Structure 1
Amino acid sequence: MELIFVRHGQGQHTLSPPESLQHRNPSLTEEGVNQITLLKKNLPLNQGDLIVSSPTRRTIETATLLANGINEMITISPAVSPRMFPQNSKWKTLPCDKTLDKEFLKKDLPSVEVEDCSSEELWRRGINTIPEHVFKTIGNQFLDWCRQQHKEKIFIVSHDGTITSYRQLITGSLLSRKDFLKDGGWVRVYC
């Protein structure tokens, strides 16, 4: 199975840190929209592909741009929500990384599938601060779910720490923050 991890385009929360990290539900900037528009030209999706998005505004906006108006291609899952990398049990989730509520998403985005397999706790808590051993369990369950979709390609629109955590889980390689994708970047991983 081919997984293509896509980091969301530039978000409003990155414009003037650390103050902008306190912004809740940041959208893509104009530059972020341009990054994804360019990416779409170089990484076209086919009708049978699936896009799985983190439940944040900037990732859903990125997924929507990639889907080119075919929102039925998009599934939102808390298993790819923001994740700190590396993990630090003393750190807390920043306001910019709080996820959108499952019921809000169902109501606000009726043409997008909101994944119902995950527990209510995972939807509420996300994967940002969970210990590594818990992430491995959730990550492997998510990868099994991806296999069950029977798609040749699955695009996963997520965040730098989440993507790096999944890459590390899948490949078994030790990665660092130096391995983070840039805004609007992507990497292919076979699983």
Structure 2
Amino acid sequence: MELYFIRHAQAQHVLNPPESLQLKDPSLTSTGENQARKLHEIFPISKEDLLIISPLRRTIQTALVWTNDVKCQMIVSPLVGPRMFPLLSAADAYACDESLSRPMIERDFPQLEVVNCDHWEKGINVISEPEFQQLAEQFINWCRDFRQDKIYIVSHDGTITSYRQFLGESVTREDFLGDTGWYRVNVY
């Protein structure tokens, strides 16, 4: 199975750091919308494809613009939500990384499936490394259950880097992806 981790397109929270990192629920910028549209040239989506999306507005918007109304399966999961890399304390978490609630996603994005799991409240942003590794293993096994040749995961730079590390790669912040950057890995 191939997993394609794709970083969300440019959003408002990156325009004027560090102040803009405290924006709650930032949306894509017009540049970000254009970046998301260009993803379709790199990864043309069909109705057979599966996207797993982080529960933040910017990742959901990236996926919706990218798929351009293709009726593929899109699932929102907190297990690909934002995660700081390297891990810092909860006090150091950014407001821009607060996940949307399940009810808000269901209300604002009724065309998406929302995974039913126990991790909506806490998410993965500031959980311990051993706890993340356990959830990452569960997530990878859950992906295997779909029996898809490839799965697209729309997420965040820190989350993607954390999964790359979990999957055995030696990574640092220098390995962060830029807007709509992507990383492919084979998982057996």
TM category (shorter chain) comes to: over 0.9
| 8 Å Cα contact 2:53-2:153 kept in structure 1 | yes
Secondary structure of the residue aligned to 2:6 is: strand
TM-score by length of 1: 0.94
- Residue 128 (structure 1) aligns with: 125
The question of 1:169 aligning with 2:145 is answered no
Name the SS for the 2:4 alignment partner.
Answer: strand
Q: Does 1:8 align with 2:8?
A: yes
Consecutive unaligned residues of structure 1, counting only runs of 5 or more, are: none
Question: What does 1:61-72 align with in structure 2 at a 5 Å threshold?
Answer: 61-70=61-70, 72=72
Partners of 2:103 and 2:39 lie apart in 1 by 30
Which residue number in structure 1 is paired with residue 79 of structure 2? 79
SS in 2 for 1:46: coil
The 5 A counterparts of 1:150-189 are: 150-170=147-167, 172-189=168-185
Q: Secondary structure at the match of 1:62?
A: helix
How many residues are matched?
187
Q: In the TM superposition, what whole-angstrom CA distance separates every residue of 1:128-182 from its partner, at most 9, and x where no partner exists?
A: 1011000000011011110101111110000000001111111x12200011100
Name the amino acid aligned to 1:74.
M
Matched, 1:190 2:173: no
Question: Does structure 2 conserve the Cα–Cα contact (< 8 Å) formed by 1:161 and 1:180?
Answer: yes
Check the 8 A contact 1:67/1:74 in 2, yes or no.
Answer: no
Contact 2:85 2:158 in 1 (8 A): yes
Verify the 8 A CA contact 1:3 1:155 in the aligned structure 2: yes
CA offsets per residue over residues 21-72 of structure 1, 9 Å max, x none? 1110000111111111112111212321100000000000011112221355
Residue in 2 aligned with 1:138? 135
* Structure 1 residue ranges (4+ consecutive) displaced by more than 4 angstroms after TM superposition: none
Amino acid at match of 2:40: K
Paired with 2:8 and 2:161, the residues of 1 have a C-alpha distance of 14
Whether the aligned pair in 2 keeps the contact of 1:36 and 1:62 (CA below 8 Å) is yes
CA distance in 1, matches of 2:57, 2:94: 15
The alignment's C-alpha RMSD in Å is 1.2
Report the Cα distance in structure 2 between the residues aligned to 1:38 and 1:66, rounded to whole angstroms: 7
